[in-house]
Chain A
Amino acid sequence: MTTVINVPPSLDETSFEQVLEQVAPLPPDAKLLIDARHTTWASPYGLSALLTLGQVRDQARPTLAVPESDDTASYWARANFFHYADELFDLKGLVPRRSRAESQVLLEVTPISKSEDVHDVVGRIQQRTQQIIGKDLGLDPKAIVGFAMTLSEVCQNIIEHAGRGGWVMVQAYNWQKRLGRRVVVIAVCDAGVGFRCSLETSGHLATADRWDDAAALEAAVIRGVSRFRDPGRGQGLAGVRKYIGRWDGKLSVRSGTSRIAILPDWDDDVPLKENLPAFPGAQIQVTIPERVAR
């Protein structure tokens, strides 16, 4: 029997939880039809997380019904989503060819599994971010360098801790409804071991009074704890936190059944969510908004 999983019309970090709520109770070998026919918009997180879901459900290759909207399907094609989705899903519906015209996507969905991949994405994005961050978002030139550093560090989280490959995507768009400003968003998703398991390999942390996904996220994201005993470790996410703090951005990290967020004033999200549907690995989103005159 095939279970139909409905993908919301707008697929982002928040609404992806609806997908996971449907998937989490099912056995790993259950046959799934991921129905995205009525999806009309997807954020970088939505697309990266969808690929991660395909990666997780590898015991019974799921089917993905692609968006019916031409605009949406074309965008997913330009974002290179279908190229990787084809390896993980049986695609159902009309899959547009990827246009040869230069994509407006800042960084298409890109697999990350080794150090060279990080060099590649940082190199590719540098020129494009000068336009987006310096001109469109009106941020200081220092923010451009910091953005590349942030991208590098969140991608390295996959290489250093996940134990298997993941995906990164970067896009800038007008967040008119929610914020009334332009934003640039980095999404990095993997289906690896996640923060709790990664930190447990260091031994001493697992013996703490309270130890679960939320505690692991607090340790890694807030306190900069790493599974490595090297005192220089743990600086990556600390650096990302410093960067988003300086540029009024938002950082959220989901792992296992919890999600932690470093929140700016403009966002009404909660700092910690627990008891979410279980999902392997780590899913990170960084949002940097356009600067407004105060």
Chain B
Amino acid sequence: MTNHIDLGTVLRQTLSADLYSNLVTRPTGAAVRTQIETLLGETERSLTVIDFSHVSMIDFSCADEVIAKLLMRHGQKHEAYFVFRGVTDGHSDAIETVLERHGLALVVESDSGVELMGVLEELEVSLFRAIKRRGSASAWELAVDLNEPEHVLKRALDGMWRRRLLMRNDDDYTVLTPGMTGGEGQIA
């Protein structure tokens, strides 16, 4: 089951007010992230859609608290995967800035499916596209597709898995797809 978290709902719950739809200020960002972490609990392996559809804009400080720290802390402590949905021009400047600052990348859902955003090597982008074409692939299959040594790709794939940009199941790597593990469940 994929978790679904509507950031607009979490924001309103956090501020106890219906008036605001902007993710601004560091204290707000910290409170929203804490709420997300509480909702996710201590589940060891999870896939969660973080939905920006009802958020007008996000500033740098809030993006640092909500996105960068969520990826660096919760994403690393647990095997927690995140797909960011509804990301528009109103959000992308701040998100890209904090990803760049921390050398991070994340998965965003767009009209053409899932894409990567942030700090990425060229090889990582090629791998992501190749896996997306296949749906799921092992390092040796990708070595054939990309005409690169398998051990080089394996190292890059494991790096992407540690950054939670790909899921790993035994020897196979899969792009994160909301609903891939049995639909979406709204938890906020």
A-B contact pairs, 9 of them (CB 8 A): A119-B24, A119-B25, A149-B60, A152-B24, A231-B101, A231-B102, A232-B64, A232-B98, A239-B59
Residues of A within 8 A of B22 (CB): 119, 122-123, 126, 148, 152
Q: Assess whether B64 is in contact with A235, with CB atoms less than 8 Å apart.
A: yes
Q: B residues within 8 A CB of A218?
A: none
A156: Cβ under 8 A from any B Cβ: yes
Asked if B149 lies at the interface with its beta carbon under 8 angstroms from chain A, I say no
Check B93–A232 contact: CB distance below 8 A: no
A119 touches B20 (CB 8 A): yes
Q: A132-161: contact bitstring with B at CB < 8 Å (1 yes, 0 no)?
A: 000000000110011011001100100110
Q: How far is the CB of B146 from chain A (nearest CB, A)?
A: 34
A221 located at the interface, meaning its Cβ lies under 8 Å from any Cβ of chain B in the complex: no
Q: Interface of B with A (CB < 8 Å)?
A: 15, 19-22, 24-28, 56-61, 64-65, 68-69, 89-90, 93-94, 97-98, 101-102
Q: A145-B89, A232-B68, A235-B101 are in contact. Are A119 and B28 (CB under 8 A)?
A: yes
The 4 closest A-B pairs by CB, nearest first: A239-B60, A232-B64, A152-B59, A152-B24
CA distance A144 to B61 in the complex (A): 18
Q: Once the chains are docked, how many angstroms separate the CA of A233 from the CA of B64?
A: 8
Instruction: Tell me if B101 and A115 are in contact (CB < 8 A).
Output: no
Number of interface residues of A (CB under 8 A): 26
Asked if B25 and A156 make an inter-chain contact with CB atoms under 8 angstroms apart, the answer reads yes
> A115 to chain B: which residues have CB within 8 Å?
25, 27-28
Let me know if A123 and B19 touch, CB within 8 A.
yes
A232 touches B102 (CB 8 A): yes
Q: Which residues of A line the B interface, CB within 8 A?
A: 115-116, 118-119, 122-123, 126, 141-142, 145-146, 148-149, 152-153, 156, 159-160, 231-233, 235-236, 238-239, 242
Contacts of A159 in B (CB 8 A): 25, 27
| B69, A126: Cβ atoms closer than 8 Å | no
Q: Tell which of A122, A146, A232, A235 touches B24, judged by Cβ atoms closer than 8 Å.
A: A122
* B25-A236 in contact (CB<8A): no
Q: Which of A123, A231, A236 contacts B20 (CB 8 A)?
A: A123
A116→B69 CA distance, assembly (Å): 22
Contact B61 A236 (CB under 8 A): yes
Please report the C-alpha to C-alpha distance between residue A60 and residue B138 in the assembled complex, in whole angstroms.
76
Inter-chain CA distance A126–B22, complex, in Å, is: 10
CA distance A86 to B68 in the complex (A): 44
Asked whether A239 and B25 contact (CB < 8 A) given A145-B89, A149-B60, the answer is no
- Collect the chain B residues with CB atoms within 8 Å of residue A141's CB: 89
A142-B89, A235-B97, A235-B98 in contact; A153/B19 too (CB < 8 A)?
A: no
Interfacial chain B residues near A122, Cβ < 8 Å: 22, 24, 57
Determine which of B26, B57, B97 lies in contact with A239 in the assembled complex, contact meaning CB atoms within 8 Å. Answer: B97
Residues of A within 8 A of B24 (CB): 118-119, 122, 148-149, 152
Give Cα A105 to B185, complex, Å.
46
Q: A123-B21, A149-B94, A156-B26 are in contact. List 12 more A-B contacts (CB 8 A).
A: A118-B25, A119-B22, A146-B93, A148-B57, A149-B58, A149-B59, A149-B93, A152-B61, A235-B98, A236-B59, A239-B59, A239-B94
What are the residues of chain A within 8 A of B61 when measuring CB–CB?
152-153, 156, 235-236
Chain B nearest Cβ from A162, distance in angstroms: 14
Chain B residue contacts of A146, Cβ below 8 A: 93
